[in-house]
Homo-oligomer: A and B are copies of this chain.
């Protein structure tokens, strides 16, 4: 048995998220189907660094899986890439030690969120960016996003009813960039982990602040109170991308 780590990208539009489930097509199931075929029919389980929700994309999700025997890394990458559906691509494959684990190995994650702020929704972005054609105060959004950096209890930004006990996470990088030619805002968040729907709730709150519905200080209030009712609506999944998983020692 040999363990392999792979970096994959997927267009989340036609997936019910990453994780295996009973109804609907998922990234994990599609990869497991292909890998089981490549493994002479012996069932293969794919482990991801974490889940992504329905409609959410990945530029650099990391998975691991075990195969019988040893393979050439590039041949395996090519086979898995070309035999997977074409909304999944396999960017790299490398052999790792037998106890390496995509989820439990210590890592940082980077997510980006694309917001189409054109007057008209670009047909080319309808599945690849969220759309907000109303006025936004970039200065206020920039002030507010700074407040998310650091170690906080992010309870106010997670979905209610989540089972995770410890809601303290650290955000190392949080920034917003404006690309006027593309009529787009790009949010980047890098941290040691994110709670369920945390990024989409943070972005939803930033949009409300930019649009003047909330003051900048609302960000502090949510972080301090942990009250989900103070945050903005969850931003749409099509704007969100898992960009990178970086394993740290």
Contact = CB atoms under 8 A, between A and B. Distances in A.
Contact of A86 (B57, B86, B87, B126): B126
A153 interface: no
A81 B120 contact: yes
A88 interface: yes
Name the prevailing secondary structure of the A interface residues: mixed
Interface string A20-56: 0000000000000000000000000000000000000
Contact of A88 (B57, B89, B123): B123
Interface string A121-153: 111101010000000000000000000000000
A9 interface: yes
Chain A interface category by residue count: 10 to 19
A52 B198 CA distance: 43
B120 A124 contact: no
A91 interface: yes
Contact of A128 (B87, B88, B124): B124
